Structure 1
């Protein structure tokens, strides 16, 4: 069982929209998840624009995949390195530390993640 940033059981990030590498609402990762979708980020317009400018458009609906597109305040399991890239660019979104997998600290220092946690 994966734990969160507080070494407690990982909780659900979001089921509406459904998120996670496994599309089960959690930011748990496995060996198959090479992007480490481990950070439960709380979307902002600024981050969505940043991600789109980097080639990962999360705001445009893709009905053929059942994806309605994200908007500000939605929670989404981000790749740890995408969140880190946004952090380095000064536009990292806040995160839900209870729903962020402890696996994210392989890529991002824990103290930085905790500073961005809303809980």
Structure 2
């Protein structure tokens, strides 16, 4: 089995162990057959996103998340926030910033790379190497 790749088609980078995140709780936003939520998006949550997610029935604060936490998000939940922004229901700040090098390429089945680049953390949209981002 080949190692997971990120959305830039490079080896998937480690994302966070504070808090420990990922479907496999190993700090990587990698998925597998048992991960029906596709926890592939390496996102940085904001208070606005946490409020929005809670209003949709998924209160991530119970997992200990606060503004600025790194979390492997379900691709569909990230896409919901993006759509809420497009519909004017939340601000752009309500859509988590994405660490491209740590977002598994399986997320591209639901969201195109250009959309992820629009919300890339820092200047990652222009990076070509697999910088860890820590």
TM-score using structure 2 length: 0.80
Structure 1 residue 8 displacement after superposition: 1.0
Structure 1 residue 95 displacement after superposition: 0.8
Q: Is the 8 A contact 1:40 1:75 kept in 2?
A: yes
Gaps spanning 5+ residues in structure 1: where? 61-66
Alignment of 1:24-43 (within 5 A): 24-43=26-45
- Which residue number corresponds to residue 110 of structure 1? 113
Q: Is the 8 A contact 1:5 1:114 kept in 2?
A: no
User: For 1:48 and 1:13, how far apart are their aligned partners in 2?
Assistant: 19
- Which residue number corresponds to residue 130 of structure 2? none
Q: Is the 8 A contact 1:42 1:76 kept in 2?
A: yes
CA RMSD of aligned residues (A): 0.9
- Which residue number corresponds to residue 64 of structure 1? none
Tell me how many residue pairs correspond in the alignment.
112
Aligned: 1:86 with 2:90 = no
Aligned: 1:13 with 2:9 = no
User: For 2:49 and 2:6, how far apart are their aligned partners in 1?
Assistant: 23
Runs of 4+ in structure 1 off by over 4 angstroms are: none
User: For 1:29 and 1:88, how far apart are their aligned partners in 2?
Assistant: 23
Structure 1 residue 114 displacement after superposition: 1.6
Gaps spanning 5+ residues in structure 2: where? 86-93, 125-134
Structure 1 residue 22 displacement after superposition: 0.3
Superposed CA offset, 1:29-82 (max 9, x none) = 11111100000110101000000101111113xxxxxx4x10111100000000
